[in-house]
Amino acid sequence: MSSSIDYKLFQLIFDRYTIKPLGSCQKVFETTKSFNEQNGFHHHESFGLIDRDRRTDEEIAHINSPNVWVANVAEVENFLLVEEIVKEVASNMMKDANKVFENVKSNVISFFDSQKEKQALEHSLARIERIFNNATDNSAVKTIGELETSLIGFWDGFKVNDIYVDVLANFQELIDSESYNEILKVFNNKGLVSNSKVISLCDLSTKNNAYLNYIIGILKQNNDKSERIKQAVIEKIDK
């Protein structure tokens, strides 16, 4: 796992596995690969879970790393706002689940709208960084002159503003169409759960990770409710 979110949540969801938080996506890639390459010394198979980290669908499809799963949300904390989970918590708190979710959805979309320019810039920077990493064919470069020529040719055809405009237009389309699930896929913001107002809407405390712990409490019940939460998370992971 690459997220710092309480790993107990995922230990309960993937109860057949031992869960270990590793910090960065690169560490997940490296550890998963290394562990599985040593299968001559053990009989276990390792799987990694990373968040989307501002990757596009195309970039996700081209991840060439066996046994690494990708969360279908921008960051793992966004799992806590998946529709089925919000409704399950609200229902358990004797609230109108549909009404609570509609309020959460509206709050998330409004917050995303207020942050869209900042988010578009951050996504553009991430995309440019990945493009730049592939700016030249290193194997074909033999001299500093060839490197300079290659990079000049790259930058001459590179339109930074076009990337930002394209990302921002896509975000505006998600807002206009109220595409809640798609927004959860691209919205990287540690304050999203708080700004969704899901905690107050469910009459839970804002202290000590009460919302997360409440979900963990439901998962520990091992009943229909916990199974629905498990499935909601599993369905948001590309394997």
What is the tens place of the pLDDT at every residue in 112-148? 999 999 999 999 988 888 777 665 556 666 788 777 7
Q: Give the number of other Cβ atoms within 10 Å of residue 70's Cβ.
A: 22
**71, β-bridge pairs:** 237
Chain centroid, CA 114 distance in Å: 20
The two three-digit tokens of residue 186, written as one number: 């691209």
pTM of the model: 0.80
Report the pLDDT value the prediction gives residue 1, as an integer from 0 to 100. Answer: 43
**50 to each of 5, 72, 120, 137, 235, how far by Cα in Å?**
12, 9, 21, 28, 15
> Which residue ranges in the chain fall short of pLDDT 50?
1-4
Residue 142 structure tokens: 């033999």
pLDDT of residue 130: 77
For helices 210-219 and 224-234, what crossing angle results, to 10°?
110
Neighbours of 24 (CB within 10 A): 11
Write out the two tokens for 116: 């869209």
pLDDT at residue 138, as a whole number: 61
Question: What is the enclosing helix (H) or strand (E) of 48?
Answer: strand 48-50
Q: Return the pLDDT at 186.
A: 95
What single DSSP character describes residue 50?
E
Nearest to 180 by CA among 78, 59, 38, 57: 78
pLDDT of residue 78: 93
The rounded distance, in Å, linking the Cα atoms of 156 and 171 is 27
From start to end of 63-110, where are the E strands? 68-71
pLDDT confidence of residue 192: 95
The pLDDT of residue 19:
65
Q: How far apart are CA 207 and CA 98, in angstroms?
A: 25
